[in-house]
Amino acid sequence: MEEWVRYGDELRRPLCLATDLPRSSTVCVVGGGLSGLTVAYRIASKRPDVHVELIEKGDRLGGVIETWTQDDWVCDVAVNATRAHPAFWRLVDDLGLGDRFAPSNPEANARWIYSQGRSQKLSIWPVLKRGPLNLLRGLRTARRGGRSVAEAVPLAHVNDAMTLGIVNDRAANVDADFLMPSMTRFGAEPPIKWKRIKSKMNATYPLFQPNKGATASFTGGMQTLIDALEHELNLLDNVELTLNAGDTTPTAVADQRGIPLASVIWCAPLDRRPDAFTTLNVYVAGYGNDDVANVPVGYGTLIPDPSSPISGILHESDVHGTPRAPAGHRLFRIMSPTPQTGSHETVKAALTKHLGTAEPVVFEHIGVRSIPSYPPGYMASLSSESMDFTRAGWCFSGVSVTHVVAEAERIAEHF
């Protein structure tokens, strides 16, 4: 029960851990994104006698996490906030970032779906209108395992909007067990009722108790967390950071360093073909308040229309508890799946349908992100893999920063 109170539904996800890893005197963590940084930090902090090398093929740490800034405009290129989970709060507290970590704006709780030419607020009513019995049948089907989100949540537009917003893919292509294992009842079951587990978990939050359904974020964006992890790792005598390592394999890493394969922790995509990823263009658009006065304050709009160059608009400056735009302005983050993007001007023109006809004060393409695909049956395939070395990160833990951070802590607990 203590494990369930500490990690909750993260225990439903398989931990892809090599049996001999905890006996290692030297550990090599491959991949310098949030997963690799957190795994290295957790192990090195717990075991000063273990040498930890973190290697990254690029010239910067952080992986997909990066924060774009321009004067007083601030926008995360990928992950911009975290849902509530004690493991993430523990990491923030341990890094001494409590004074830079704040709950989301409670007024920005509304979400919309734009479909068939109109915007509809997300609520329980679309479910009731389209048939709760269909939804219940979908859930029962999903609990057989290996089903898609489209089968588990048989609500057209709603399911596509959800999966596009989370993993940039259509619901029929996404494993329901991977995206929502608690709903599909994948993996282990808690030893007592979930309501009691949740109540006990809520009592373990450091810093502040998050409100139900709320998110939280950092002053200055998620780059604040990356910088803090890098800083702490540089202070630890048993840590070595290696950038520009180039492409490699787990076996090559072990051979080059003269360590057992079981001492390698792989926090990067592995054995994935180029077609096993989708790509997303990310834009920012900033306006004066008066120019978007008709756009209600909220979390954002999901657009599951394959003919649109935009799959979602996040109200970046509405959501956070700290400023993301100059006074008197609002900032929006625009998601555009690569096959739908067209030109930058096409994306900009599409904004007039959702944000009004005023010319934005700022409009900029701030990045491209590759996102792994998680086809139906993906979660079950992880459970059956042989663990000669440890696998961690977005491809294995889940798609949220809470999954990654909890997974790192679970790995370190074995040392």
Band of pLDDT at residue 213, cut at 50, 70 and 90: confident
> How many C-beta neighbours within 10 Å does residue 290 have?
9
Per mean pLDDT, which range of 43-47, 213-217, 314-318 is the poorest? 213-217
Residue 10 belongs to what domain range?
A: 2-68+76-101+205-272+375-412
61 lies in a domain? yes
User: Among candidates 122, 392, 399, which has minimal Cα distance to 278?
Assistant: 399
Number of DSSP helices (H) and strands (E) in the chain, helices first: 19, 17
Question: What pLDDT score was predicted for residue 240?
Answer: 98
Nearest to 77 by CA among 361, 347, 335, 351: 335
Give the model confidence (pLDDT) of 85-119 as tens digits. Answer: 999 999 999 999 999 999 999 999 899 999 888 88
Question: For the packed helices 86-94 and 401-412, what is the interaxial angle rounded to 10 degrees?
Answer: 70
Residue 380 belongs to a domain: yes
- Residues ≥6 apart with Cβ < 8 Å to 185: 143
Chain mean pLDDT for the chain: 92
Indicate whether 354 belongs to any domain: no
- Stretch 148-160: mean pLDDT, rounded? 87
CATH number, residue 394: 3.40.50.720
pLDDT at residue number 134: 67
Report the SS3 class of residue 127.
Answer: helix
Q: Does the residue 113 lie in any domain?
A: no
Does residue 379 lie within any of the structural domains? yes
- In this structure, is residue 247 part of a structural domain? yes
User: Is residue 7 situated within a structural domain?
Assistant: yes
pLDDT confidence of residue 272: 66
Instruction: Provide the whole-model pTM.
Output: 0.94
Percent residues over pLDDT 70 in the chain: 94
pLDDT digits (tens, 9 = 90+) for 277-309: 999 999 999 999 999 999 999 999 999 998 899
Interval 175-184 mean pLDDT: 92
Instruction: Note the pLDDT tens digit of each residue in 110-143.
Output: 999 998 888 888 876 665 566 666 667 776 777 7
Cα 369 to chain centroid, rounded: 12
Higher pLDDT, 265 or 395: 265
Number of domains in the chain: 1
CA dihedral (396, 398, 404, 410) positive or negative: negative
Tell me, yes or no, whether 365 lies in a domain.
no
Please tell me the distance from the alpha carbon of residue 283 to that of residue 344, in angstroms, as a whole number: 9
Burial (CB count <10 Å: 0-12, 13-18, 19+), residue 334: buried
